[in-house]
Amino acid sequence: MRIAVVVRSSVLLTALALVSGFAPASSGATSAGTAVSTTSLGAAVAQRPAVGGAGAGDPYFPRYGNGGYDVRRYRITATLRPDKRFVGRTRIVAVASKRLRRFNLDLLLPASSVRVAGRPARFTQRGRELVITPRRTLRKGARFTVTVAYAGRPTELTHRGVKAFWSTPSGGVVVGEPEAAPWWFASNDHPTDKATYDIRLRAARGTEAVSVGRLAGRKQVGDLTQWRWVMRRPMATYLAFAAWGDFRIERKRVDGVRYLYAYDRALGKGAHQRAVRSLRRTPKVVRFLERHLGPYPYADLGGVVTAADLGFALETQARPIYEGGFFTRGAGLEPGRNTSVVAHEVAHQWFGNSVSLRRWRDIWLNEGLATYLEWMWDESQGLGTVDSVFDDWYEYGGRSFWRLPIGDPGRDRIFDYRVYTRGAMAAHALRDKIGDQAFFALLRRWVGERRDGHGTTAQFVRLAEGVSGQQLDAFFDAWLYARVRPAR
């Protein structure tokens, strides 16, 4: 995720440093701060082997996700009507990890029916928890299906002050981090349970509907047009999005990758032109990153630029989504375009998407490394050196800049600007300590060996020590957990 108000300029460093606990506002940041109860039911039900836990055990978000099963595939059918009424159906293929007489899914829209293995199942719903009791207990290792039907007006729906579904002049968009899925599909909503996706978006004729992955087909279904999108690589739930509206769509293939760009026609002329100039450089960004990280992990890419007032851009898998404000006059470091934000979101395709977090406290692995690669891209474009950016923050960051332990920032601070900036600084300091050869070998091995999987800070540290042959505990303690400025 890239927050719209994150800045690099050293002109603003001193001012920022004086603001204690500064955290840019965004959908993601608000969600982190207000959307979660600190009371976990997971511990209460863990002793009952036939009941799936209401939570995946994440210390920051104990009620996110669920236990007792592993999702293999989602098939989502979602219709957004012109009056913004939403109708959805999710079919899940999952495998039970223990005997289950009851299990949970995450969904905010009111469910009207639930079927397990083709049979009607009893269910109750409270908040985002959909509690399902199938007719028969599911045996451990059993492959089963769950089909949930639901409807409502998600553009009007908030959960503990958070929204993830925005209305636009010609449609709507659902996107967010760390959560967005419960606004439009039933899921096991935590990054530890990645799955493949078949997404069928329906809209009135003349309205485009865009999502992640490959456009696998388009057809008429009654008075609606259905756009089918397929993501065959494992994906975390928050990396799925859907956008309906009046979009201008461009498609092309570069270096074997399918690119699809969608630009909201409600963007002003200047923003639209700057967005096109920026996103068309995505293949060049990919080639730059591949030189350092290895092959791009997906078959598709591109981007969506929406007129919705998101306040952020997000690395939705194989097709990032950008608020139009990133391409207004003066946004970014370049005249007439902003490729810095493009580099940030494309870097996330390796760090965050292909290799995902196991726990949200390790968010620096996503945002710090994506920010560092963004700095490297800017340097390659003559937009200032990585050394100069590092030096400015190091010298002028101020006391508050160093007070946050970015390796465990707290759930209310996962999108704090210090996680991004100091995470990038930690990466640069590590590169300086172990040398370019070991540093880039580390990055390539991390994304190569953990492709389509997960990683933790502890695992990253162990790999860094193995690649470099150095003991790095003290280094990472200083850069990730200390509340004072590390020595250089």
Residue 476: predicted pLDDT: 99
The 3-state DSSP class for residue 128 equals coil
Cis (ω within 30 of 0) for the bond into 110?
A: no
Fold classified for 49-243: Immunoglobulin-like (2.60.40)
Residue 5: predicted pLDDT: 54
CATH 1.10.390.10 residue ranges in the chain? Answer: 246-354, 357-481
Residue 256: predicted pLDDT: 98
CATH of domain 357-481: 1.10.390.10
Residue in the structure block whose two tokens are 């409600």: 266
Strands 453-455 and 355-357: parallel
CA pair distance 135, 207, nearest whole angstrom: 41
Burial class of residue 81, CB neighbours in 10 A (0-12, 13-18, 19+):
middle
For 120, half-sphere exposure in the C-beta direction (CA atoms, 13 angstrom radius) is 4
CA pair distance 301, 242, nearest whole angstrom: 15
Q: What is the mean pLDDT of each run of 10 residues along the chain (488 residues)?
A: 62 37 35 35 47 89 94 98 95 97 97 98 96 97 98 89 92 96 98 99 96 98 97 99 98 98 96 97 99 99 97 98 93 91 99 98 99 99 98 96 98 97 99 99 99 98 99 99 96
CATH 2.60.40.1730 residue ranges in the chain? Answer: 49-243
What are the structure tokens assigned to 175, written together? 């996107």
Residue 159: predicted pLDDT: 82
- 8 A C-beta contact, residue 478 and residue 425: no
CATH of domain 246-354: 1.10.390.10
Burial class of residue 291, CB neighbours in 10 A (0-12, 13-18, 19+):
exposed
Q: Which residues lie below 8 Å from residue 219, measured CB to CB, with a gap of 6+?
A: 225, 226, 228
Residue 8: predicted pLDDT: 53
Could you tell me where the DSSP H helices lie in 261-338? 269-279, 282-293
Identify which of 231, 211, 244 has the alpha carbon closest to the alpha carbon of residue 80.
Answer: 244
Identify which of 284, 276, 280, 283 has the alpha carbon closest to the alpha carbon of residue 300.
Answer: 283
Residue 333: predicted pLDDT: 86
